[in-house]
A and B are shown apart, each in its own frame.
Chain A
Amino acid sequence: MAIETLVLGAGQEVGKSCVVVNINGKRIMFDCGMHMGYTDHRRFPDFSLISPSGNFNDALSCIIITHFHLDHVGALVYFTEVCGYRGPVYMTYPTKALSPLMLEDFRKMVDRRGEEEQFTSEHIAECMKKVIAVDLKQTVQVDEDLQIRAYYAGHVIGAAMFYVKVGDAEMVYTGDYNMTPDRHLGAAQIDRLRLDLLITESTYATTIRDSKYAREREFLKAVHKCVSGGGKVLIPTFALGRAQELCILLDDYWERMNLKVPIYFSSGLTIQANMYYKMLISWTSQKIKDTYSTHSAFDFKNVHKFDKSIIDAPGPCVLFATPGMIRGGLSLEVFKHWAPSEKNLVTLPGYCVVGTVGHKLTSGKPTKIDTDPDTQIDVRCQIHQLAFSPHTDSKGIMDLVKFLSPKHVMLVHGEKPKMASLKERIHSELGIPCYTPANNETVSIPSTHYVNAEASDTFIRNCLNPNFTFRKCNSVDTCNSTLIDRNLTPELQVEDERVVDGVLVMENNKKAKIVQRDELLLMLDEKKHEV
């Protein structure tokens, strides 16, 4: 028996997560993402590797989506509506609620850019109808042999790690996860399981991060300094996740410091998303959950609706603008207006992809930036980079691997050189074989298999008989050993090793049966022969 893993995306890279696993004849696709860095065929995973004939319904048992980020769900609509997959799709409640927002936002952006549309709004709606929402820890019986279960991952709201069991083979696909709680989400949580395979993300395979508290304070200080100097703060961010986290932070701070400077959300999307967050409060952190009845944390008191006239209006303000990384859209437009003034501040939370304005700002201290061949912007404003990331660091990955102690580990969703060094660590420190397949590669590992047998009552009862062995420490030893040692080893050691003599009997055309030795003679209809 073996588990075959075909990596269609996020193999030695970050983007278009998609892994197809074949366990005991069941094929499960984990995530169905798109690559944001490409606009050609490389944007989607190469689905033809799953089934050359294009008959995906027979080739796959189900699809599991871990969270609503486009690099995990972006290709789903294309796969179900254009490629024609009709089978079940599983995701958590928040993922099902928020994925359409992300997909619709992406579709609009493609539309604006005038690129070819891969799917329509109707496609998104049709696709979401096929999705089966699951709750955390709920054991879902996909079919008679296939069981799946979601565990809290803490990466974004609704993010989940998925456990899959087929027959005796068990595995976990983590998706993206975070081992430390943040402002609005808890830390990842999972049971101790007996796994054959663990597929984990490895975005920060080599980084170890310090306490978040210091970084938060630094961020608040920078923002406060800017607005008290009459400056404007631009926070380019994506609509979901980071925006809510930072806004909880700011709103709280505003309250405490009694600040009256307005905070704006640029997109209707963020405001719409807050609506969802309010209903999904049970998926956030314990602290937020506890206050739901008196005051919902997502009812921001100081947040106002944004209007384009605000861009050039005098006076300080804080603006959350989409998209993140100043990749275009409103965040770029506002940046053009605000960058030339040294009073203003641009705060960049999280990772910026190469080629974006955000990346240029964070690498070196540019004074001039070319946004397109004709425009050049003078950059005189303050730049603040926030190392907030909802991904686990290398310590977190190691902790999880150690906790689960699977028989095999596979790394995806990371950069190749960093993955190689983590692979080495897992292998040497934990002694677990580790793999880092590239895209379109297949890895096969052996899986656990049990042979079923029946056990008779007498056998089981005998197993429960206590079998104490008492060992007295040699008094000479005790005298010779040091004082500390004596405290550690008690004089009387009691062991309870329960031993029973069992015999496995296989009769023709019958199930294997385990019996206690006395029962064997009965079964064989023979008399005992003592020697």
Chain B
Amino acid sequence: MRTAFRSVTGLVTALVILAGSWTPALAQEWTVGASISLTGTYAKPGKYTQEGYLLCEKDINDKGGLLGRKIRFVVYDDKSDPPTAIKLYEKLITEDKVDLVMGPYSSPVTNAASTVSEKYKKLMMASLAATTSIWERGFKYLFMTISPAEVYLEGLVDLAVERGLKTVAVINEDTLFSKAAAKGTIELAKKKGMQVVFHEAYPKGTTDFSALLIKIKSLNPDVIAAGSYFDDAVATTRQMKELDVNPKMYGVTVGGDLPEFYKLLGKTAEYVYGSSQWEKGLPYPGIKEFVTNYEKMWNREPVYHSAAAYGACQVYAEAIKRAGSLDSDKLRAELLKIKMKTIFGDYQVDERGFQVAHKMVLHQWQDAKKVTVWPAAVSEGKPLYPTPPWQRR
């Protein structure tokens, strides 16, 4: 009994100390609330997002803050779960009474979380949602940072058309983002006069693509475009080699830009095109400084999620400076007007808050290096074309 009593007292004491360390916001700071996926499916990109936000907080504070006050991020983990994000944004806005809110990671979570910010008329700068339908709900206080899913493979289609290629096969994972990416690619290809000879979706978690690839092989398209995430992009590439499927160009949406893609595939990844929202070698203002500071702060290289989070924060800060206030309607007016270049690239939105200026880049794996090959204005090299058949690589 006595030990039980002791352990209970110990537990209570521990809880009290923990609660005490949970300090409330100081009045002389602006607080910025966000939920981020720190655990669950999106934990990896979520962590990069958080790091981008926190570096932005540091940089803004080093330069004297905003409107005379320092800023501080209040971040909670949403477990990659949309209803949890709803609860957390309610908490941020009604309990913590944050001054500003920024978006979580991923389209499904942003879709849910923005219903809360819209309800309280809090302006949400969504840094990592790429699904067009989110901006088709008529929300007033939701702004987009990254390029929409539909244009992910614009570069691949562009380069193919330049080289006179005629046919394209499209495959995609059956999820919100990948589907939109495939749909956009098909529309772009058709608009530019290419013929879509094949389109099929596969469920999330598929590991065997041979049936799909054999069908494609029999059609022998010039281009294969894959609306993919990381695991499926790796598996499709590997199985294309095994089944000797030889398109002249082959590109993937997500996954092809991660260093792990080459690490897993080695030489098989050569010639593969991948699209990315951002690369650290791009000629954007302040990008070198951002990369150095990021590496110093977090001991790893930034990826596009970090840059998008940071860029969104930059745009938000600019709007606050111009508006001279944190009032949602004034900020909204500024954000609709602003045209600027951040370390993440161009920012400009239409009347829905939908991103229209930011450009994707396309890169190709050449000799174990990611070489940006599109658009021409920022490319580092020429694409190696055509892709030789597997036997001659």
Same complex: no
Chain A interface residues (CB < 8 Å from chain B): none
Chain B interface residues (CB < 8 Å from chain A): none
